[in-house]
Structure formats: C-alpha cells, structure tokens
A and B are shown apart, each in its own frame.
Chain A
C-alpha cells in the first residue's frame, strides 16, 4: 500500500461511516448531505484504490448512515437484477469462449475473397470482424484472440515486433474492440448499466439501442480506416500477398459442443431483441418477455447449458463457470454503481431539487455544448480509470442536470448510445481497461504509441460522436 493510500483510505472511510454526525451542508438536508458523503468518498476509493472492497464498504456505509437499511442496500446493489445479469452473462460467454468459435468467425471474415482485391479490404475485414464479434461478446476474451490473430498475420508477412504496420494494426483492432463493447447492450455491462441509470427519466429500447449502435460502430470503423490511411499513413503493402484461406480451412468442422453453445447464446440474443420487434405484431408475447427482464433469458440459457450434454459432459460445468466465468469484480462495481446512482436521484435526499434551485440563476445551457463537454470529459476519465465507474459518474451527472431542468432539450437515448461508445473506447493507456492492458503487454505497441494513436483517435471519435453521431442516433432511437 502506498503512502497516500494510507491517508486517503481512513479519511474516505471516516467520511462514509460518520456522516450521520455531520451538520447539513451544501444547502441540503441531513439525508442529502449523507448521500454526498457516501457518493464522493466511495467513488474516490473505487477510482484510486480497489474495485471490490470499497463497493462493500459503500453498501455498509449506506446502512450505517441510515440512508437505506442494510437489507435494502444489499438488494439494491448485490441483489439487483443487473448485478446478476453481468454475472450470468459472463458465465454463458465463458462457455462460448472455450469452444474456439470466436477465432473461427474471425477467420471466416478475413478469408472472404474480397480481401484479395486490396490489402485495405483485409484490414477493413479484420476491423469488421472485431466489431461484429465484439458486439455480442466480451471484449477481453475477444482481444486475446484478435491480438494473436493480428500477430499471426503480421508475422506471416515478415513484420516483427516494433514494425509500424504491426503496431498500427494492433492499435486499430484494440480501438474496434473497445467500440464494439459500447455499441450494444448484448452481454455488455456498461450499456445495460447506463440504461438502468437513465430509467427514471426515460426507458431506452434494447433493440433501437442496438440498431443505432451498429450504425455508429460502422461509422467509427470508417473514420478509423480513414485515419489509418491519411492521418497515420499506415503502409499496407506487406499485406498484399497475404492469404487467410488456408488458416480458415485448417480449422476443420465445428464441434457439436460449439454448435450447441452458439445456438443457445443465439436464442438469448434473440430473446433480448424480440420484444421490440414483436411489440407491433404480438404485443402480449412482447409484454411477457419484457416482464421477465433481460436477466431471464440468461438464466434459461444456463439451465439449458447444464442440462444439454455432449459426449456425456454438460455444456457448462457450473462450478467452474461460477469461479472462473463469472466476472465478480465487474459485478460488484455494477452493483455499487446502481446503488450510488440511485441514491443521488432519491427524492428524500433532495439533491435534484437543490440543483434545480442553484441552476435557476445559471440559465439554460445549449444542449450541443453539454453533449460535447460530457463526451470529452468521459473520454479523458475512461482512459485513466474504470469504464463502469466513468459511465456511472457521467450518467448520474446527466440525470441530475436533466432531472433538475438545468439542461433541457437533450435526446437522452441518443446521448446514452454515444456515451456508451465513447466510454468503452478506453484504449489510450494500459490501465484504462483490461483489453488495453493486454495489447500494451503484447510487446507490439509501446505505451507512448498507445497514447499517441489510440488517444489521438479517441479525440476524433469524441468530436465525431458528439456532432454527427448524436444527430444520426437521434433519428434512430
């Protein structure tokens, strides 16, 4: 433990646990004051010290301060539907990851005949594969496979670690991997969390979010290719003679296990998307599926994966899935994020009312400026700290400002899509995200290069998203 941690931790814990003895401050009532002293120190600890235990301390502190009962605090965080959604989807996706299906799909993409026309098509297909696979799976599992594949491609055409082309291709795959996590709520905690946090203001439709996300994703891919070509001046001539067909053919037929796993996960994704499609045709069925909540299809998938056996073994070894597949630290962060976010908008705390009063003198901020500021802020924060926490912070700020009327005229669903895309583009520094750390550790990209290229593109991305992206998404959602 570092020296500053030794001071910071006790101070934060003191503020969290003893705020019931503080006088009301900031023009708030006692509950509001307590909420502020729970929110800020918990966030600080989560951002700087550790991702799990401050979450637990936060839950406890809510009970000690009397804002919620302990039972309530637990069921709003660790017992929330979304906490279990993250845990269960990690379990299901881990089964999928074991079957080698991700590599198979990626190879399918880059071995299409079209890639022989120009090396840029090959690069584009590599990025597209990352985008499409990443849109329905876990970015960390994906980057492990995509970075190996990129390495294989580069080595096959005589490029070594340290080569500019290899470095730029790695950075490109990393950027697409990040973006793919933000474009759909399918198996991705952050978009689901953001949807949950905005729920009090507006219900965001799962299906429309996904459609808008794919459009934005493709747009960003185009921007990335242009940046690679004209801004970073990547030279792709070595790729001219590369042929992935044999790599794809070497794979052999897909195993029965892989087919079942894909089919089951496919059903889950379909169940997530169906309600929006069925709304007009079979409103009752859509209503029923919607009532089951988005966690239910995953629960069904786990039951199915435990029951269906191939060669005498179930698709999922539930014990292993629990200890290895479920991403517990991500779950805890999502849990505490929901608790923290909810506490700020709790009417008893009066924080939104206080903001409303304070904002009256400010006048109304233009929506576009607000969107740009939020995205730039998000861009900086997500590149130095946890994606989930950054998203929580941005979403709660937005909810507070929009709820209190300081900001008006914002298209919240559109903002939430671009915020999620921006937020998951955490590639500029190694600690920004697990996928970024993996690429930084691969030896193909130096931290300085990561900052220059991934950081540079993320600025372009922020501006594009806040302007063109916001409008395009606005039409769709």
Chain B
C-alpha cells in the first residue's frame, strides 16, 4: 500500500480536490442524474469523487471527508457513517493485526525462519533448490505475516546471499532474485486472510452474495501459491534464463547456526500468534465435529481472536516487561492510515447497496441488452484489469473498485454463472500482485528504492510475472477454486 506524501501537492491536485469536495458536499442540490433517483445520484456523487481523491491525492483525509459527506448528503447519519467505517470490525482487525505482527517482527523470528528454510541440507544439492527454498520461505512466512515487514527482511537476506557469492548490485542474478522474492511476497499476502486486510475486506464485501469460508480460502490459497511458485521458477529458468552457477557453493548453514538462541519473548509471541491463527482456522474444521463451538467462535468475528492476542501480549510478562508495550503498539505498530483506507472502502462498497438508491436496478436495466458473457471470460478480464490497476494504485482501493463492479454486475444479473466464492479467491490473489511499479504497494516501493532493481527492469520482469499470474489464476486457479470453495 503506498502512502502518498501529503506534503507534496500540486496546484492541479488542489483544484481537483476542491471540485471533488464540492460534488461530495453539495449534491443534495443536484437534480437526479444518470437515470437514477435522488438517493442514487447522491451516492454516486460521493462515491466517485472520494475514490478519485483517494487514488490521486491522499489516502487519509479524503476518507474523513467522505464520512462527513455521507452525513451531509443525508445518506447516513454522521454516527451511522462513522460506525460503518471507522467503527467497522474489519478496521479494528487491521489495527490489532498490525499491533500483534509488529511485536513478532521485533523478535527477529522472521529472519530465523527464512534462514531455517534455506539452510536445509538438500538445498545444497542444486542452486535451483536453494532458490526454490528462498521463495518457499517467503511464501510461507508471508502467508501469515505482513508483506512489508517481510520484504524488508527478505531483501536483506537476498543481498547477503548474492554478496557472499561475489555478486553485486546491478548483476542480473541479484536483480532477478529480488524480483522473484518480491513477486512471492506479494502472492503470499493474497493467498490467506491470516493477518491480511484485503482478503478479509473482500470476504466482508461479498458476504451478501456468498459467504467465503476462512479455512477453505486458506487451503485454496496455499495450492495456488505453490502453483505460482512453480510458475515463477519455470519462468526464471526458461524465459528470463537466470544463471545460478555463482550460487553453486553457497552454504547458509553457518548463517543459521550463528543466530543466538531464540528468546523466551520470541517464543511466547510466536505461540500467541499461532493460537490466534488457530482460532481463525478452527471454525472451518470444528463445523463438522462441534458445530456449537464453531458457531460460537464464528459469532465472535475474525477480530476477536486478534484482540485477544493483544490482551494476552499485554498481560504476559517476560523479565517484568509485558510482551507488548501497548502505548507503543497503538502509536507505532497500528497501521492507522492503512486501516482508514479499509474502513472507507467498506463504507463506499456498502453505499452502492443503500436501500432506495436503485443503482443495482438501473445497472440491470442497462445491462440486459449486453447479453450473456461467458463466466470464464469475465473472470479472466476481471483478473487482468485488477492486476493492471493494482500495479499503479493502492491495493485496497483496487480491491474496492473491482469488488463493487463485480457485486453490481453479479447482483443485477448482467453476469451469471460465475462461482462467486472462486471469483473472490482469485481477486484476493491477483489484487496483491502490485510488483511492477513502485507506486502500487509498500513492498513494491521498497524493492524499487533499494537500488538492486531498476524501474525499467521492475516494469519488464514484474509485468511479465504479474500478467502470467493473472492468466494462471483466472484459468487454472479459478477452476481449482470452484472445486474447493
């Protein structure tokens, strides 16, 4: 997720901001437009300018303006708009997850696990196995943690490997390994809802059409994640013609063994986070054995386990210090800006379905002339469009945009025959693939700013990989998802 610098605002942006704000705040005086009634017109007059501001101007203040605009336009009460955005469960899920993961991050456990992976004895047999293990480590760690924290650790590790073998910044080997790690880092964020805001947000937004199960989404995610890893290795080997001979004699065992023993603090943090994950996954398993318990845990919502994790980290002390310093967790660990975008995305997504707005009906009337589009074609188009947009703008906003389009088309009956659950799973994966440009995501920006990958190389290699991913996910992935979800 890219956080644009609010200190840099051109005159053009300022004028655009004023026009957008005017449309957002004064639409109650506009006549009905676009074949919609007054409510529908108001919804669109808040929806589009907000999206525009979020995409092009800033990620935080337009969110606050939007909440206000919904109240001024009379679509929600102010309290209602606040509750549906800043008071939304999912916003707090993002905040609490950020707090818990930041504690985990501080303990150095990510680097430890990554080193464990690449120091397995069989990885020494062939450099391709080593690279595969490096990617696998990224995939597995990333599937349960924050991609930005992870990419910081993984880029350092990749550099250390390349430098140990006499490589340097600018070598093709280094560039391609970085791109590979970046791609898998992005994939890992989309494959599970564990600690990842976007899949959870998408599950929430599509709830009215299809309830996606947490566990099933995770299982599908790991399968598609491994397939994408194979695709990446094959592309590296046969398309990009990566030459791994320098890595032949690389032995990471020493790096792993030189790590100090794991602290008690780290062990307890991992344990607590492990329990949180277990909590998230159990309802899917317990459904068949203990339906009452499963329903109870489900009733607590996905936010409760991680809130419990925060409480546990504050209560449990090691050497007289709690595992989490709550003041620090709230100010440094909690991703306030990111969570605001999520909150506002949920509000915007929900606004199109406001009772009496009639937007879905109007779409249905307009779309009936289109005839039936084959579902698979629809999924492919959506995935490719999603990858292109997410490369340049915030992942959360891309997901919001794609989800609202899909929900409108599906619920108005313009598109039929699509397995909604499978579609959601595919969008989750491709939406996080913001790797080809620095502006698409924080992890994309980190790799771009690192100097090992030039912007042109990032666009070329990242673009090829992202496009390949979109095609694989929307065809093979979609098919597998229909079987699992």
Q: Name the one of A64, A84, A299, A323 contacting B300, with C-beta atoms under 8 angstroms.
A: A64
Cβ–Cβ contact A318 & B61, under 8 A? yes
Cβ–Cβ contact B65 & A303, under 8 A? yes
Q: Does A22 contact B (CB under 8 A)?
A: no
C-alpha spacing A128/B304, complex, angstroms: 48
B311, closest chain A residue (CB): A57
Q: Does B275 contact A (CB under 8 A)?
A: no
- Using known A-B contacts A70-B304, A306-B58, A319-B3, determine if residue A52 contacts B82 with beta carbons closer than 8 Å: no
B343-402 residues with Cβ-Cβ distance < 8 A to A are none
Cβ–Cβ contact B310 & A78, under 8 A? no
Q: Which residues of A contact B17 (CB under 8 A)?
A: 307
B320-337 residues with Cβ-Cβ distance < 8 A to A are 320, 322, 326-327, 330-332, 336-337
Q: Does B166 contact A (CB under 8 A)?
A: no
Cβ–Cβ contact B301 & A70, under 8 A? yes
Q: Which residues of B contact A306 (CB under 8 A)?
A: 6, 58, 60-61
Cβ–Cβ contact A74 & B303, under 8 A? yes
C-alpha spacing A84/B58, complex, angstroms: 20
Cβ–Cβ contact A52 & B87, under 8 A? no
Question: What's the tally of chain A residues with a CB closer than 8 Å to chain B?
Answer: 48
Question: How far does the Cβ of A150 sit from chain B's closest Cβ, in whole Å?
Answer: 29
Cβ–Cβ contact B300 & A56, under 8 A? no
C-alpha spacing A332/B329, complex, angstroms: 13
Q: Does A79 contact B (CB under 8 A)?
A: yes
Cβ–Cβ contact A318 & B92, under 8 A? no
Question: How far does the Cβ of A283 sit from chain B's closest Cβ, in whole Å?
Answer: 17
Q: Which residues of B contact A323 (CB under 8 A)?
A: 331-332, 336
Q: Does B255 contact A (CB under 8 A)?
A: no
B1-49 residues with Cβ-Cβ distance < 8 A to A are 3, 6-7, 9, 14, 17-18, 21
A252-304 residues with Cβ-Cβ distance < 8 A to B are 291-293, 295-296, 299-300, 302-303
Question: What's the tally of chain B residues with a CB closer than 8 Å to chain A?
Answer: 49
B62, closest chain A residue (CB): A303
Segment at the A interface, from B71-79, B155-163, B450-458:
B71-79
Cβ–Cβ contact B82 & A295, under 8 A? yes
C-alpha spacing A381/B351, complex, angstroms: 45
C-alpha spacing A358/B314, complex, angstroms: 39
Q: Binding site of B, secondary structure by majority: helix, strand, loop or mixed?
A: helix
Q: Binding site of A, secondary structure by majority: helix, strand, loop or mixed?
A: helix
Q: Does B416 contact A (CB under 8 A)?
A: no
Cβ–Cβ contact A1 & B87, under 8 A? no
B68-91 residues with Cβ-Cβ distance < 8 A to A are 68, 71-72, 77-79, 82-83, 86-89
Residue-wise, chain A 35-63 has the 8 Å CB interface mask toward B (1 for contact) of: 00000000000000010110011011001
Q: Which residues of B contact A408 (CB under 8 A)?
A: none
C-alpha spacing A75/B68, complex, angstroms: 17
Q: Does A9 contact B (CB under 8 A)?
A: yes
Q: Does B317 contact A (CB under 8 A)?
A: yes
Q: Does B278 contact A (CB under 8 A)?
A: no
Q: Name the one of A52, A78, A79, A318 contacting B326, with C-beta atoms under 8 angstroms.
A: A52
C-alpha spacing A69/B21, complex, angstroms: 36
Question: How far does the Cβ of A226 sit from chain B's closest Cβ, in whole Å?
Answer: 41
C-alpha spacing A1/B18, complex, angstroms: 53
A81, closest chain B residue (CB): B79
Interface centre among A88, A300, A318, A323 (most CB of B within 10 A): A318
Cβ–Cβ contact B92 & A53, under 8 A? no
Cβ–Cβ contact A79 & B82, under 8 A? yes
Q: Does A207 contact B (CB under 8 A)?
A: no
Cβ–Cβ contact A71 & B301, under 8 A? yes
Q: Does B315 contact A (CB under 8 A)?
A: yes
C-alpha spacing A71/B58, complex, angstroms: 29
Q: Which residues of A contact B72 (CB under 8 A)?
A: 292, 296
Q: Does A313 contact B (CB under 8 A)?
A: yes
Q: Name the one of A64, A79, A322 contacting B60, with C-beta atoms under 8 angstroms.
A: A322
C-alpha spacing A213/B264, complex, angstroms: 53
Q: Does B64 contact A (CB under 8 A)?
A: yes
Q: Name the one of B78, B300, B303 contacting A296, with C-beta atoms under 8 angstroms.
A: B78
Cβ–Cβ contact B7 & A317, under 8 A? yes
Cβ–Cβ contact B6 & A303, under 8 A? no
Q: Shortest 6 CB-CB distances between A and B: which pairs? A: A79-B87, A53-B314, A306-B61, A293-B78, A75-B87, A75-B83
Known contacts A80-B87, A84-B82; can you find 8 more A-B pairs with CB under 8 A?
Answer: A70-B300, A81-B83, A291-B78, A293-B78, A299-B67, A307-B17, A317-B6, A318-B60
Please, could you name 23 A-B residue pairs with CB atoms under 8 Å apart, sorted by A?
A1-B317, A1-B322, A60-B304, A64-B304, A70-B301, A70-B303, A70-B304, A71-B89, A78-B92, A291-B78, A293-B71, A296-B72, A299-B65, A302-B61, A302-B64, A303-B21, A306-B61, A307-B14, A314-B6, A318-B61, A319-B3, A328-B330, A328-B331
